[in-house]
Amino acid sequence: MGQSLLKSKVAQILLVAVVTAVAGEFKINPFDGDIFRIAMGSSAFLLFLLLMRQLPFISTGIVTGLVVLLFRTAMDMAEGSGLTAQQSLTSHFSAMVYYIVFAVLMHVIKSRLDAFHPLVLGGVAALIDLLSNEMELLTRLIVLDSASFRLNEWTYLMAIAVLRTYFTTGVYSSISVSQMRIRAREQNERIEQMLGFGSGLYGEVFYLKKSIGTLENVTLGSFELYRSLKAGGEQEPYSRQVLDITQQIHEVKKDSQRILAGLVKLVEREVTGDMPLSGIMRFTVKSNAKYAEMLGKQISFHIHITSDYTTDSYIPLLTLLNNLTANAVEVIKHKGSITLDAYEKDDNTIFTVTDSGAGIGKLDLELLFEPGFTTKFNEEGVAATGIGLSHVRDIVNMFEGTISVQPASHAGGAMFQILLPSAKLRKEEQ
């Protein structure tokens, strides 16, 4: 109930009015007596208007002016100032005029607030404050027949307006920067989740396409076997059985195609746009730094990029680099380093992932990219799936590129090098 009350515009306007009225009691009097006050109320009011732009400024100014008028009158009555209620209302009537004029002038520039540089905003707010003060003083001159101000007093008034508004806009700018940083951090987290989701989903789509191709070949082979058995005439029971199997495989293929269509639509909806190579490398390092931390390893990551351009194939590239970098994290026992490089040579873009692990044995090199081959086992001796590097090779082949691995003499581990045609990666400028 409390949250719904705060979401009400009426409640928000009343909150602004009450806080402004209370803040107005923290004041200094630049001139003799209580004829004019420089209070925190106007600073608080300006800050509220800048932060709560969903509120109607003019209505907020009218309500705030009335609340300030009634609040100051009540304070006079409570303190026993000797003024009657009518005299007190008359004395503070000009303060109500100040907030109404201030709100009206802020309403005039409301649509352009975001376009102002903070320094310009401070200057504009100072001018509005000065004009509102002049209207307050003019009202006081008319209502109370008070004396006019000398030139030096007007200069002092202008200086106070400038200092007060620039202080307030400075506070507002600090709050805005903090909010922007929070939004940027949340956006980066959403992008990381989206990329992780897209990368994983891309791998599933890739293998599902391969599975459908395999099912298609099995279906054709089974049907050919059925036709051969049917032509022989003597294997009728077997030919019928083969036909049944073929039909079942065909149904599985159709179901897989329907699943694939749904996944492709999901990938296209969730993962769109493009990304620079530097962004791909940065997200790869960030996710694998968390992975290394989860495994309790102290690994330093380094990125070297000499060629950076935008690509719309960032999901397969992220899948490639993430697989290789995750493998590098796993082969490092406790402490080490991983370096990612990206550069162009001739018409190709070359990515390298170098680790300081134990390296790869010569006998393992020939089988390294074969499906099911693995050198990783868990604590119970169960082997890993062994499809990560074969998946990497398949994606490289899709781009008509090459992948190689060699010892990293300077790091002590292994260096995977991926060479891809730049024309297949670089997004053409519109």
pLDDT in tens, 268-327: 555 556 788 998 888 888 888 888 888 899 999 999 999 888 888 887 888 888 888 988
Contact 420, 396 (CB under 8 A): yes
Beta bridge partners of 404: 417
Beta-carbon count within 10 A of 101 CB: 20
Which residue is associated with the tokens 């077997």?
238
* Interval 389-401: pLDDT, tens: 777 888 888 899 9
pLDDT at 271: 52
Q: Taking 80 as the threshold, does the pLDDT of residue 168 lie above it? A: yes
Distance of alpha carbon 271 from alpha carbon 197, whole angstroms: 9
Helix axes 277-294, 314-331, angle to 10 degrees: 30
Domain map of the chain by residue range? 2-149, 191-270, 275-424
Which residue is associated with the tokens 């990329």?
195
Q: What fold is seen in the domain 275-424? A: Heat Shock Protein 90 (3.30.565)
